[in-house]
Amino acid sequence: MKSNQELYQERLHRMTQAVTLGKPDRVPVMAWIDAWAATYRNGSMAKLSNNLLYSNKLILETARDFPQLDMIEVGAAIPRAVAAATLSTVKVAGKELPEGSLWQVEELDHIQEADYDRILKIGWKAYKKEYYKNVLGWGGYDTFKLILGGIIAGRRCKKAGFPELSGAFPNIPLDPLAGGRGMAKFMTDLYRMPDKLKEVMDIMVVDIIEENKGIIKQAKPFSAFLGVARGSSNFLSPKLWNKFVWPYVVQITNAMVESGTFVNLHFDGEWNRDIERFRELPKGKCIWASDSVTSVYKLKEVLGDHMCIKGDVPPALLALGTPDDVYNYCTKLIKDIGPTGFILAPGCTTPYNTRVENFKAMIAAATGQ
Amino acid sequence: MPLFTFATPHLKGIEMSQTLINAMADLEESALVKEVKHLQEQGVPALEIIQKLQEGMNIVGKRYEEKEYYLSELIMSAEIFKEAAAAIGGDLSAGEAPSHATFVMGTIYGDIHDIGKNIVTTVMSCNGFKVIDLGVDVPTADYIKAIQEHKPQVVGISCLLTTAFDGMKECIASIEAAGLRKDLKILIGGGPCDQTTADYVGADAYCKTAQDAVEFSKKLMGIQ
């Protein structure tokens, strides 16, 4: 029987082969398990949403029941931190929502036009600190607890033999601005004050890169998670996208790769129009994680020889389908998108109401067991 | 004297209206504001100006379908439209504007996400539909009450959580059980929805985008 450390290395090797477009012994299978851990382990959603180490415990207990998983996306559920990254507030079970409820992000218009000037004046790092304290009620001690909790959770994952996919979380400037300003207002700002926004984003990206380079240097994660929520191809016209999205995707990706980590491009939504542009990113260094809205077949056709594709088992299928539906979908994915440069995984996170048999069917498609 | 100065006031009005339609379609905000002022000064009724703005919105919708425009332009056009309508005193929500049909929409109970819902209601109202926005976390009883009161032709139910699918299913079944489904079409939409979801919850259609809701509803009402 292999030790946890042997399994850790075996899983890491299989994933590395997939990302570097090598030849893994089989298509890796992984999942982002957060809220589903509470469902599967019959745990408290309120506690999971508010206690990083409790979430880590449930996630690892869940993963241990599916030892064929090659990785988990992150070792803990941290809804407040995820929302904070986009300057949004979040309602969680046990506080604003009843026990058993999934957390839900609120995008309110906290950022006013004057805040753009404030960012230009004091820089993104200082502005973010102010915003966290004044708007989100998130102080220095909360950040310290988050970092410490993340380190402990990461060590526990390693001890349990499950590598984490991502350990640094940069985002392009557009996402926090859109999250804090409110999407509709922000999109009109893109029209009404494009030059000022460009200036603000250019300031922000410097701090974003610097902060994440520091994290990568310390934590040495497998990959940096670069999620883009409001900048997908069907959200923005090419004129806006080329100015406010793509330059920052390139700049951040290159900086993360130079720091010695892979980049997990977690791009929800529809990106079909711009898939070819991703060939501009370094070969064999990125993972294109699709939530099933972007065509996985177009991704394979255009990027198959350039970067690894991850996904894209649809959330509705995991929640509503039968095990046969899931198995057939996944088997076809492996055949058509694999066997090299492909990681089988749910599109985005594993839905809270995923049927256990469906999760097993997804794994069985990859392992043949 | 150049010939064009002999244009009749009627023709001038037509030219100005076309300028307004083009400004709306091209998202030329300052030109649009200027043109609305001109038309107001000429005594053109507010509803007539709104009709011209809606013609511009039709072009925006076509450009969206043809992938010349994206969500950013839909939102910007809706913003310009709302501001112009407010400036001339046309309150869209008060039902003063001419409407093709009535559209009731909300985010289903258990889900508080409102971005997608807000985009759809805004785009629908700018495209000539009278919109009744029920808000977020809407219980089935509120949908039923709104249907009985406003007698809509189309109902939209939105969600961003897969855990809300069962709520959508229950809501649609209750609308049917209350005998209100006969002359009503129900659309669903939101991040995790797809055709599988529409089949599961018993909706008439799944809308991937806000413009899909406009097109489906227009088709239903026989509007070109």
Can you read off the two tokens belonging to residue A58? 């449930």
Best mutation target, B24, B30, B67, B161, to test chain A (most A CBs within 10 A): B161
Size of interface A-B (CB pairs under 8 A): 84
Dihedral sign, Cα of residue A19, residue A20, residue A21, residue A25: negative
Say which DSSP state B97 is in.
S
CB of A212 closer than 8 Å to CB of A256: yes
CB contact under 8 A, A352 and B113: no
Check if B33 contacts A (Cβ < 8 Å).
no
Q: Does ipTM top 0.85?
A: yes
Among the partner residues A104, A234, A316, nearest to B71 by beta-carbon distance: A234
- The residue assigned the tokens 């089988």 is A344
Q: Give the C-alpha separation, A175 to A210, whole Å.
A: 18
What would the pLDDT profile of B92-125 be if each residue is shown by its tens digit?
A: 554 455 577 999 999 999 888 888 898 899 888 8
| Interchain pair A104, B75: CB under 8 A | no
Q: What is the DSSP letter of A95?
A: T
What pLDDT was estimated at residue A131? Answer: 95
Q: Which helix or strand (DSSP H or E) is residue A53 part of?
A: helix A52-64
A315 preceded by a cis bond (ω within 30 of 0)? no
Using an 8 Å CB-CB cutoff, list chain B residues near A351: 162-163, 192
A91/B112 CB distance under 8 A? yes
For A231-256, give one letter per residue: b (16+ CB within 10 A) or e: bbbbbbbeebbebbbbbbbbbbbbbb
Is B196 part of the contact surface with chain A (CB cutoff 8 Å)?
A: yes
Domains of chain B are 3-92 (1.10.1240.10), 99-220 (3.40.50.280)
Q: Please report the pLDDT score of residue B94 as a whole number.
A: 47
For residue B170, pLDDT beyond 90: yes
State the average pLDDT over residues A104-120: 92
Are A316 and B196 an interchain contact pair (Cβ–Cβ within 8 Å)? yes
Q: Which residues on A lie below 8 Å from B67 (Cβ)?
A: 273
DSSP-derived secondary structure letter, A201: H
Sheet holding B130-133, edge to edge: B130-133, B102-107, B154-158, B185-189, B205-206
Three-state secondary-structure class, residue A84:
helix
CB of A157 closer than 8 Å to CB of A164 = yes
Contacts of B165 in chain A (CB under 8 A): 316, 319-320, 353
* Residue B215 forms contact with A (CB below 8 Å): no
* Residues B118, A184: Cα–Cα separation, whole Å: 9
* % of residues, chain B, pLDDT over 90: 50
Asked whether the beta carbons of residue A352 and residue B122 sit closer than 8 angstroms, the reply is no
Beta strands at A286-290 and A262-267: parallel, antiparallel or unpaired: parallel
Flag if B163 and A352 touch (Cβ within 8 Å).
Answer: yes
Query: Which of B75, B107, B158, B197 best tests the A interface by mutation, with the highest count of A CBs <10 A?
Result: B75
The CA-CA-CA angle for residues B90, B219, A268, to 5°, reads 85
Among candidates B128, B64, B127, which has minimal Cα distance to B95? B128
The β-bridge relationship of strands A104-106 and A89-91 is: antiparallel
Closest CA to A319 of A345, A346, A340: A346
Q: Which residue(s) pair with A105 in the sheet?
A: A90
Is residue B14 pLDDT above 80, yes or no? no
pLDDT digits (tens, 9 = 90+) for A215-249: 999 999 999 999 998 999 989 999 999 999 999 99
pTM: 0.88
Q: What distance in Å separates residue B94's CA from the closest CA in chain A?
A: 22
Res B114: pLDDT: 83
H/E segment holding residue A240 = helix A238-244
Region for A127 from its dihedrals, namely left if φ exceeds 0, alpha if ψ lies in -120 to 50, beta otherwise:
alpha
Kindly report the CA angle at A344 between B163 and A357, in degrees rounded to 5? 50
